[in-house]
Amino acid sequence: MSARTTAVHRDGRHDARGFDVERIRADFPILQLQVNANPLAYLDNAASAQMPQAVIDRFVRYRTREHANIHRGVHYLSEVATREYEAVRAKVCAFLNVHDEREIVYTSGTTDSINLVMHGYGRKFIGRGDEIILSVLEHHSNIVPWQMLAEEKGAHIRVIPCNDAGELLVDAYEQLFTPRTKIVGLTHVSNALGTINPVKEMIAIAHRQGVPVLVDGAQAVPHLPVDVKDLDCDFYAFSGHKLCGPTGVGILYGKARHLEAMQPFKGGGDMILSVSFEKTTYNDIPYKFEAGTPPIEQVIGLGAAIDYLSAIGIGEIQAHEDELLRYATDRLGALNGVRIVGTAAHKASVLSFVVDGVHPHDIGTLLNEDGVAIRTGHHCAQPVMQRFGVPATARASFAFYNTLREVDVLTEAIVRAQKVFAV
Amino acid sequence: MSSTSQLYQEVILDHNRKPRNYGKLADANHHAEGLNPLCGDHIWVYVRTHAGTIDAIGFEGQSCAICKASASMMTAAVKGKKLADVETLVGEFRDMTTGKLDTASGTHHLGRLTVFSGVRDLPVRVKCAVLPWHTLHCALNSIAMVSTEGTADPVPDSGVERTDHA
C-alpha cells in the first residue's frame, strides 16, 4: 500500500483529487442496503451497475406524464414520447463523439447489437471460406454469434492470443489477416480480466487490410472516455445497464455506409416505408433496424444515465476507479495465497483473482455473508479461463461510487474466508 | 448461526480437504459426467455394481467445497448399499436441499448428510450440492435406461451428460 492511498483512505470522504464519493453514493438509494446485517459492498459492477435516483425519477416522469407509442400518433403524448425518445440519439452521439444521429441504432443490449451486425452485415458479406478474427478475451456474446455464422456459411474463426498478463499479442494479430479476412470482433475492455485493449492501433491494422472492426464496448463506456471517431471503428456496441441505466436497452453505433449496406435483421412495423404483399420498402437508417415498438422508457432512461455520468465526467470517474483498482491490487496482492488473474499494464477497474485452496464459488458465498457482492464463475468468457488454466475466478469490479473502505471490507472478507477454510 | 456458517462447518471442510473415494475407478461398469455450466463444477462419478449393490465407487473433478464434500460423503454413504436404497437416498438428498424434506421432522435415511440441509437457504448453491447425486443417478440409470430425471431432478438445467459404459 502506498503512502498516498493510506492518506486518502484515512480521509475517507474525499480522495486525492477532491472526488466526493459520499455525495455520489447518496444518489444511489440501493447502496444504503444492509445485506446479512452488513452494509452492502456492491463490487459486481461489471455484471450490472446500480441506478441513481435521477434515472429512477426519469422513469417516473415518463410514466406519469409522457408515455405513448412513438412514431405513430398525431396526439400530444405520442409527440412527447417520440421527441424524448429521439432526443437520446443526440445524447449518445455526444457521448461517443458521433456527428450523424443516423449512425446510432437502439437495440436491446450489447448482445443484440452484436447479433445485429452478424445478421445484417455478416450474413450478407461473409461466405464460404471467409475468415473472422476474434480475440481470446471476448465475452461469449462476441463469440457465439460468429460461430453460428461460421457454421451457417462455412466460414472460419481465427483467434488473437494474449500473454500471461492478459494483453493481446498485436504482432500475432497482424499475422492472422489473409485476403479472406472479412471482419474483426474485438472487446474494448475484457470483462473477465479488465484489460484495456489497444483498439485504436488494432483497428488501424485491420483497416490497412481493408477489414472492418466491431468493438464490444460493454465494459468500456462506463469506465473510460470513448471517441468512436478517434478510434475509427466501424461498429461499436454497448449496454444501458452497465452504464447506470436500465436493462433491455443498448446501442449499436455503425458507420452510415455500413448500416446502409446492411440488410435488416428483424422485420415488422416502424422499419418500413411502405408495405404491400408484392414489395416492401425499408425505412432509412437507423429505423430499418428498429422493428416493432422499441423499449421507449429504457431508451429515455439510458439518456438520463448518460446525462448523469456526463455531469460527473467520465474522466473523473476513470481517475477515481483507477485509484480503487490500484489500492485493491495492492491489498489483494499482499495477501498470501491470493493470485490476481489479469495483470495488464492498462486495466479498467476489474480485479479477477483466485485463492489457493478455496474455490471461487465458496469465496463468493462467504463474502456475501459479509455483505460483499462479487461475481464468481467463468464470467461468460470460458476461453479466458482456459487460457489461464482456471475453471473460474472471483471477480471484484468497481464503479465510481465504490470506496477505498469497501476495498478493505473485501480484503478482510477474503482473509476470513481463508480462515474458514484454514488455508 | 447463519446458514452460510452452518454450511461451512468442519465436516464439510474436512471432506473438501480430504475427499474420500477420490479418483477414477478402473473397473467401473457405469460412469457419468456432471457439469454445472454456470459455476464450472465438473465431476465424474464411477460406479462398480454387482448383484444389485454398489460394490465400489469413486469420483474426480474440479469443484467447489460444497460439491466436493457432497460427492465425498455420497460415496461413503452409498458404498455397499442396494441400488433401490441408493435411489431413495438420492431422492431424499434432493428433497432436503430443495426444502421439500424437513430433516428434523420427516423420516429419512440421510444421517450425517443432513449437514447439507443449510444449502436450501442458498438457492444458487443447491446445484453444487446436488450435482454429485444427480450424476450418480444418471450413471446408475444408464443400465436400465429408465430415467425419471425430468421429474426427479430439482435442477434440470444442471447440464449432466450421461455416458454409458456398458
Q: Is B73 on the interface with A (CB under 8 A)?
A: no
DSSP one-letter code for A342 = -
Beta-carbon separation of A422 and B13 below 8 A: yes
Q: Is A362 on the interface with B (CB under 8 A)?
A: yes
Beta-carbon separation of A366 and B13 below 8 A: no
> Do the beta carbons of residue B125 and residue A365 sit within 8 Å?
yes
According to DSSP, the residues that pair with A353 across neighbouring strands are A340, A394
Beta-carbon separation of A420 and B13 below 8 A: yes
* DSSP string covering A36-94: TTEE-EE-BTTT-----HHHHHHHHHIIIII-S-TTT--SHHHHHHHHHHHHHHHHHHH
> Do the beta carbons of residue A353 and residue A332 sit within 8 Å?
yes
Beta-carbon separation of B65 and A385 below 8 A: no
Q: The C-alpha cell of A227 is what?
A: 471517441
> Do the beta carbons of residue B14 and residue B112 sit within 8 Å?
no
Residues of chain A with Cβ-Cβ distance to B40 below 8 Å are 361, 377-378, 385, 391-392
From first CA to last CA, the distance across chain B in angstroms is: 47
The answer to whether residue A380 is catalytic is yes
Mean pLDDT of successive 10-residue stretches along chain B, which has 166 residues: 76 92 94 83 93 96 94 97 96 93 88 92 89 93 42 44 39
* Mutate which: B1, B8, B11, vs A, most A CBs within 10 A: B8
Q: Is B8 on the interface with A (CB under 8 A)?
A: yes
Beta-carbon separation of A36 and B2 below 8 A: yes
Cα–chain center distance at B9: 18
Residues of chain B with Cβ-Cβ distance to A361 below 8 Å are 39-41, 64, 66, 125, 128
Say how far apart CA B137 and CA B132 lie, in whole Å: 9
Q: If phi over 0 gives left and psi between -120 and 50 gives alpha, with beta otherwise, what is residue A72?
A: alpha
Q: A134: helix, coil or strand?
A: strand
Nearest to B121 by CA among B129, B113, B132: B129
Q: Render the burial of A94-132: b for 16+ CB within 10 Å, e for the rest.
A: ebbebeeebbbbbbbbbbbbbbbbbbbbbbeebeeebbb
Q: Which distant-in-sequence residues (6+ apart) come within 8 Å of B91 by Cβ?
A: B152
Q: Is A361 on the interface with B (CB under 8 A)?
A: yes
pLDDT given for residue A17 in this prediction: 62
Fold exhibited by the domain B3-157: Sufe protein. Chain: A (3.90.1010)
Residues of chain B with Cβ-Cβ distance to A365 below 8 Å are 4, 7, 122, 125
Nearest-CB residue to A377 (from B5, B40, B63): B40
Q: Which distant-in-sequence residues (6+ apart) come within 8 Å of A93 by Cβ?
A: A99, A100, A101, A103, A104
Nearest to A201 by CA among A243, A169, A156: A169
Q: Is A205 on the interface with B (CB under 8 A)?
A: no
Q: Is A423 on the interface with B (CB under 8 A)?
A: no
Residue B139, H or E segment: helix B123-144
Q: What amino acid is encoded at A404 in this protein?
A: L
Instruction: Indicate which residue of A162, A233, A244, A380 is catalytic.
Output: A380
What ipTM did this prediction achieve? 0.81
pLDDT given for residue A274 in this prediction: 87
pLDDT given for residue B105 in this prediction: 81
pLDDT given for residue A259 in this prediction: 98
pLDDT given for residue A15 in this prediction: 55
Q: What is the pLDDT of residues A279-326, one digit of tens each?
A: 888 899 999 999 999 999 999 999 999 999 999 999 999 999 999 999
For B:19-48, CB contacts with A below 8 A are 38-42
> Do the beta carbons of residue A354 and residue A376 sit within 8 Å?
no
Question: For chain A, which residues score pLDDT lower than 70?
Answer: 1-17
Q: Where are the domains of chain A?
A: 3-51+313-420, 55-311
Say how far apart CA A243 and CA A130 lie, in whole Å: 35
Q: Is A377 on the interface with B (CB under 8 A)?
A: yes
Q: Is A125 on the interface with B (CB under 8 A)?
A: no
Nearest-CB residue to B4 (from A369, A378, A385): A369
CATH dotted code for A55-311: 3.40.640.10
Backbone angles phi, psi at B95, to 5 degrees: -65, -35
Sign of CA dihedral A100, A103, A107, A109: negative
Beta-carbon separation of B64 and A391 below 8 A: no
* DSSP string covering B17-54: HS-TTBS--TT-SEEEEEEETTTTEEEEEEEEEETTEE
Residues of chain A with Cβ-Cβ distance to B63 below 8 Å are 359
Q: Please state the pTM of the whole predicted model.
A: 0.90
Residues of chain B with Cβ-Cβ distance to A363 below 8 Å are none
Beta-carbon separation of A362 and B66 below 8 A: yes
Fold exhibited by the domain A3-51+313-420: Aspartate Aminotransferase, domain 1 (3.90.1150)
Q: Where are the domains of chain B?
A: 3-157
Say how far apart CA A102 and CA A367 lie, in whole Å: 46
